[in-house]
Amino acid sequence: MKFSEKLKPWGCGIINKNIMSALLFKSPAKLNLYLRVIDKRPDGYHRLETLFERINLFDDLYFSSNKSGKITLQCDHPQVPCDQGNLVYKIADYLQKFYEVRQGVCVRIKKRIPVAAGLAGGSSNAATALVALNKLWGLGLNQKRLIEIGNMFGSDIAFFLYDCPWALGEGRGEQITPLNIKAKIWQILVVPKRKMSTPKVYQRLNLKLTNKRDDVNILIHSLKEKDINKSSRFLLNDLEYSILTIAPGLDNVRKRLKSLGVKGVSFSGSGPSVFGLTNSEQEAKNLCDALKKRYEQVFVVSTCERGGMSDGNHGNTHLC
């Protein structure tokens, strides 16, 4: 079922004193300022070292409990599945069965994060579902357990379960170390209308071509010093070659950003999103005006310093 302004009201009341009736969460995107592929593990996954940044580009997720026991999803984006193919549905189904929850849930997703773009919108939605349903259904799960469940469904989910704007990801990306970086940086983000398959990007990866010399700690130190010029020189994405092998035309986006003087242009995750660092919000806005003449999906984004959870019963939304 797709989202519509004409949808009927939720009509879901409070089940008991420990279970809330409705919640609104803001689900943020991420950027990878550094992504080094170290090697391939025996289980088929790759061993990574990546620097996550949580950014202020959000989906809105509305959760409402129901007495029917049914799980229903609605979304306003035609390419987002509203069944078992959606991570939010999978999370809800797992929690309901494993913890023998009798209540169901209605979930509405308003998408703003581009789909299959290297911004982890699906993983963020999954993490949001874990936090929301833990609260909505009164499960009482701690952070450690939520992370264990999240890791069963995806490598990027764990990052969003930590309330931190910056983190180092290791293993396959699920081993998270929050970082004490106070910098709030502005970026220009361009998302070409080209969906990328993460498995296909990794299949094209040539480990002999990946950079073994760069050190993420240099970038982390530069960000702690709030030195944008220095930080821009140490952005890295080892998947760049694979991305451009699959979609050579994306190089034109990078060249366009560089021609406008954007610093440290790089891909996020497995692409196709391209971003660059700017010195200020105004600089990013000026670039946005120029780039929108050629590209449809252009965003001015910055580090999301605080989480985006809000309780739909009270309407308290925390924005960056």
**pLDDT for res 5:** 32
Q: What's the mean pLDDT in 124-131? A: 98
DSSP state of 45: P
How does strand 166-171 pair with strand 236-237?
unpaired
The rounded mean pLDDT for the chain is: 88
pLDDT digits (tens, 9 = 90+) for 42-75: 888 899 999 999 999 999 999 999 999 999 999 9
**pLDDT for res 211:** 66
Closest CA to 2 of 112, 121, 122, 109: 109
191 beta partners: none
Q: What's the mean pLDDT in 303-307? A: 83
The domain over range 186-302 is classified in CATH as 3.30.70.890: yes
Q: What's the mean pLDDT in 296-314? A: 74
- The CA distance from 42 to 46, in Å, is 9
The count of other CB atoms within 10 Å of the CB of residue 314 is 9
Q: Where in the chain is the domain with CATH 3.30.70.890?
A: 186-302
In this predicted structure, the answer to whether residue 315 has a pLDDT above a threshold of 60 is: no
What sign does the dihedral 80-69-17-14 (CA atoms) show?
A: positive
Which are the contacts of 58, defined by CB distance < 8 A and separation ≥ 6?
26, 27, 28, 29, 112, 113, 308
pLDDT digits (tens, 9 = 90+) for 110-120: 999 999 999 99
Contact call for residues 23 and 62 (beta carbons, < 8 A):
yes
Question: Domain 22-178 - what CATH class?
Answer: alpha beta
**pLDDT for res 8:** 30
**pLDDT for res 213:** 66
**pLDDT for res 71:** 98
Q: Label residue 9 exposed, middle or buried (CB < 10 Å: 0-12, 13-18, 19+).
A: exposed
- Structure tokens belonging to residue 86: 């959606």
Where in the sequence numbering do the catalytic residues fall? 30, 156
Contact call for residues 186 and 284 (beta carbons, < 8 A):
yes
Q: Where in the chain is the domain with CATH 3.30.230.10?
A: 22-178
pLDDT digits (tens, 9 = 90+) for 180-238: 999 999 999 999 988 888 889 999 988 877 766 678 999 999 999 999 999 999 999 99
Angle at 268 between CA 262 and CA 271, to 5 degrees: 110
**pLDDT for res 45:** 86
Percent of the chain past pLDDT 90, that is, above it, reads: 78
Which are the contacts of 44, defined by CB distance < 8 A and separation ≥ 6?
none
